[in-house]
Each structure stands twice: as structure tokens, then as C-alpha cells.
């Protein structure tokens, strides 16, 4: 977080956009949120697309806090 001067914002945004596009395509391949994933989780659990989507929302929410820390480093503004 200290060496942001060399950060390539365009490349980071392009990578994020490509990942979002791939995720959308992966979801489109399933006709229902009740469909079971093609592979079990790393712990061997079999999960549905619904479970995966909720899990990803949770993970995304956690990382928004990290993004807020980065934004604070850039603009110096802090919340209440």
C-alpha cells in the first residue's frame, strides 16, 4: 500500500473487468441456481450455484473494506 505511484489503474481495471466477464459466463452456463457445481470445494463439499453466489457476495463485501483503505491512502479522506 505504500508504493502506489507505479500502479497501473487501467491494467487493474481491465483485469477486474475480464474476471467479471468470465464469472458472468460461468453463471450463464447453469440454467438454475439449484444446479450443483462441477467440482467439489477444496474441502470436498458439493455446493450449488446459489451457495457459490452468496459466498462470492460475502467475499466481495469483505474486500470492499480493503478497497476503502486503498482509497484513503489515495485521497486522504476518512469516514466518521
C-alpha cell at 51: 451457495
pLDDT confidence of residue 13: 94
pLDDT confidence of residue 62: 86
pLDDT confidence of residue 63: 84
Low-confidence ranges of the chain (pLDDT < 70): 1-2, 80
C-alpha cell at 45: 463439499
Q: Residue 50 in contact with residue 33, Cβ under 8 Å?
A: yes
pLDDT confidence of residue 58: 93
C-alpha cell at 30: 447453469
Amino acid at each position: 500500500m505504500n508504493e502506489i505511484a507505479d500502479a497501473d489503474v487501467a491494467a487493474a481495471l481491465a483485469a477486474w473487468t475480464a474476471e467479471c466477464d468470465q464469472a458472468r459466463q460461468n453463471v450463464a452456463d447453469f440454467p438454475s441456481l439449484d444446479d450443483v457445481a462441477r467440482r467439489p470445494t477444496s474441502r470436498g463439499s458439493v455446493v450449488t450455484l446459489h451457495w457459490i453466489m452468496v459466498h462470492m457476495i460475502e467475499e466481495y463485501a469483505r474486500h470492499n473494506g480493503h478497497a476503502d483503505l486503498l482509497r484513503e491512502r489515495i485521497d486522504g479522506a476518512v469516514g466518521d
